[in-house]
Amino acid sequence: MFCPKCKAEYKEGFSRCADCEIDLVPELSPEPESSVEYIDFIKIITYSSRHEAELAKGFLSVNGINAVVFGDDYGGLQPGLSFSTGVQLLVKEKDVQKAEEILSQMEQGKFDMPENIDVDEKDEQCESKDNNRASFKGIFTGILIGILVGLSINYIYNAVEKYRQKNLSWVHKVDSKKDGKPNLFYYYEKGVLVEIEADRNFDGKIDERCFYKGGVINYCEEDNNFDGVFEEKSYFKNGVLSRVEFDLNNDKNLNVVQNYVDGVIYDVECYHELTHKIWKKVLYENGIISEEYIDQDSKGRFDILMKYNKYGRLIKITHLTK
């Protein structure tokens, strides 16, 4: 049972929330999700290689549909800071249905040609029929030649691209807001991702940096108040978050330290701004607060203990004797 106001969970047998004094409900309503979409094209299919995607793009182009190929068959970090494999084929929303039908015909080996001949016309001359058949044959031959040329160009492009990825370093820039100003920068060395920089508030200044070792995230720093100082630093082990440090007043002394085990928060230590000693320590069980120790008089010893139940609700306060 859950409280619809404070979201607290109760065992069976309870019918009202002790804090809010309202009736409990069996389940909480899902919270609405919000997102911002800047891309005008819609993904219709994902291929395992760029070769296949370019072939499909060429076939759609012949049929008058503008398509975009996005991604690389070798895998990599795509915009949004998440790993993705495969190559996406995107078209405009108005072309989605027609593109899906054409690609379905392509996979089945059925190529529909424009019907310019009225087969019910009784007075049509044989010569006209032959000319139309020749026209169809010419169109079909042109499509095949176009596909072969496209495959050849794509093969050469892939060979050059793979050589560049394995032997050179480069920066991949992304303009996620579509305002002509890149706000995501992916740095590669010999085809391996080594760093990502992000301008999260689109002010032209980098406010987040993440560094990678062997393609795996190792360290991040963030400027969450966008004042030009990276006050938050995160450390990872084998790609899993292990520790987060905060220097909120930029005095080279830590204010808050969060420790994690297997990516789940374990404890939090808060340091006094003047004495730089721990004045509060919070312990967690399975990511839920369980105990909180406070040094109220800042003398270097905890004098208050606060205990919480398994739902994170405060149940007891104890003044420790000295």
Q: Do 8 and 79 lie in a common domain? A: no
| pLDDT for residue 128 | 57
Give the type of residue at 13. G
The answer to whether residues 46 and 183 belong to one domain is no
Q: What is the DSSP letter of 246?
A: E
Residue 123 lies in a domain: no
The answer to whether residue 305 scores a pLDDT higher than 90 is yes
57 in any annotated domain: yes
User: Do the Cβ atoms of 24 and 38 come closer than 8 Å?
Assistant: no
- Residue 106 lies inside a defined structural domain of this protein: yes
Choose one of 152, 167, 182: the last residue of a domain.
167
| Domain membership of residue 6 as a residue range | 1-34
Nearest Cα to Cα of residue 168 among 191, 193, 186, 195: 191
What span, in angstroms and rounded, lies between the C-alpha atoms of 120 and 109?
27
Residue for token digits 């030649």? 145
- Asked whether residue 178 falls in the same domain as residue 307, the answer is yes
User: Do residue 96 and residue 200 come from a single domain?
Assistant: no
Mark whether 276 and 183 lie in a shared domain. Answer: yes
Q: Is the CB of residue 73 less than 8 Å from the CB of residue 49?
A: yes
Q: What CATH number has the domain bearing residue 189?
A: 3.90.930.1
- The verdict on residue 276 lying in a domain is yes
Which residue type occupies 155? Y
Q: How far apart are CA 258 and CA 234, in angstroms?
A: 9
Rounded distance between C-alpha atoms, residue 199 and residue 223, angstroms: 10
What does the angle CA 154 – CA 178 – CA 229 come to, to the nearest 5 degrees?
115
Specify whether the CB–CB gap between 63 and 96 falls below 8 A. no
CA nearest neighbour of 198 among 216, 189, 211: 211
pTM: 0.50
Q: What is the maximum span of the chain, computed from C-alpha positions, in angstroms?
A: 112
Of residues 11 and 304, more confidence is placed in 304
Residue 73 domain-assigned (yes or no):
yes
107 and 198: one domain?
no
Q: Cβ distance 227 to 205 under 8 Å?
A: no
Give 181-233 pLDDT, tens digit per residue: 999 999 998 888 999 999 999 999 999 999 999 889 999 999 999 999 999 99
119 occurs within a structural domain: no
- Kindly state the helix (H) or strand (E) to which residue 104 belongs, with its residue range: helix 96-108
Question: Distance (Å, rounded) from C-alpha 247 to C-alpha 254?
Answer: 5
Least confident of 8-17, 205-214, 249-258, 285-294: 8-17
Q: Do residues 91 and 138 both lie within one domain?
A: yes
Same domain, 150 and 177: no
Q: Which residues are CB-contacts of 298 (< 8 A; sequence separation ≥ 6)?
A: 272, 274, 275, 277, 279
Residues 235, 310, single domain; the answer is yes
Which pLDDT does position 35 carry in this prediction? 43
Q: What pLDDT band is residue 47 in, cutting at 50, 70 and 90?
A: confident
Instruction: Give bridge partners of residue 100 from the DSSP assignment.
Output: none
Q: Which residue type sits at 265? A: I
- Domain count for the chain, please give it: 3
Check whether 147 has a pLDDT greater than 50. Answer: yes
Residue 127 lies in a domain: no
Which 3 state secondary structure label does DSSP give 154? helix
Are both 176 and 108 inside the same structural domain?
A: no
**Pair (162, 174) in one structural domain:** no
Kindly report, residue by residue over 71-125, the tens digit of the pLDDT: 765 444 444 434 445 788 888 888 888 888 888 887 776 555 444 434 444 445 5
Closest listed residue to residue 195, CA positions, set 175, 213, 176, 168 = 213
Q: Does residue 278 lie within any of the structural domains?
A: yes
Query: Based on the domain organization, do 314 and 174 belong to the same domain?
Result: yes
